[in-house]
Amino acid sequence: MIFVTVGTQGRFDRLIQAVDEWAGGRGRTDIFAQIGPSDFRPKHIPTKQFIDPAEFRYHVDLANLVIAHAGMGSIITALELGKPIMVMPRRASLGEHRNDHQVATAKRFAEQGRIMVAFNEKELVDKLDQLRSFGDAAPLDAKASPHLVATIRAFIKMGRIYQNGP
């Protein structure tokens, strides 16, 4: 099963339309999408505009693949549950968000090899066609790495120095 989510902060018709057309062209009937306040009405996949957090987690847990905007909640939940995730970031230049922080997020996670990224509809379709199966990924460790803890401590210390002076 493939679960598609765009979060709750606005429409992301470009993502939903690309997945809907891909599903219709390949006869896929194993897709469910949370589409937010979308103006686009998919023809080939069942949808709901909004789902509550428990239902969201249920769909991620059930999925063999999550397709999402590059929102941290979607990414972290998929990684936490050990689900492969492909993201397509919203773009400010297309009026999908106020800035391109999702592009930066997607690039950073992709560099770490934790997620798959498609930066446009064509890449999304091409990558979906290339995937043979969607096996579970290694779940995100519930404990922070020593490097992350050290980085956060240094950041906090630097903030205190900045506020109080050296």
Percentage of the chain surpassing pLDDT 70?
74
pLDDT tens across 51-65, in order?
999 999 999 999 999
pTM (predicted TM-score): 0.78
**Per-residue pLDDT for 12 more than 80?**
yes
Strand partners, 68: 5, 87
Mean of pLDDT values over 3-15: 89
Mean of pLDDT values over 120-147: 73
CB 70 within 8 A of CB 103: yes
Residue type, 17: Q
pLDDT tens across 16-49, in order?
999 999 999 999 999 999 999 988 999 999 999 9
Q: What pLDDT sits at residue 89?
A: 92
Q: Which of 15-19, 63-67, 154-158 has the lowest mean pLDDT?
A: 154-158
Q: Domain range holding 118?
A: 2-164
Judged by phi (left if over 0) then psi (alpha if -120 to 50, else beta), residue 82 lies in left
CATH code (residue 116): 3.40.50.2000
Separation of alpha carbons 103 and 141, rounded Å: 24
Where does 19-138 show beta strands of DSSP type E? 31-34, 47-48, 65-68, 85-87, 116-117
Q: What pLDDT sits at residue 133?
A: 54
Separation of alpha carbons 95 and 53, rounded Å: 26
- Retrieve residue 114's tokens: 């934790």
Q: What pLDDT sits at residue 104?
A: 82
Number of domains in the chain: 1
CB 73 within 8 A of CB 7: yes
**Per-residue pLDDT for 88 more than 70?**
yes
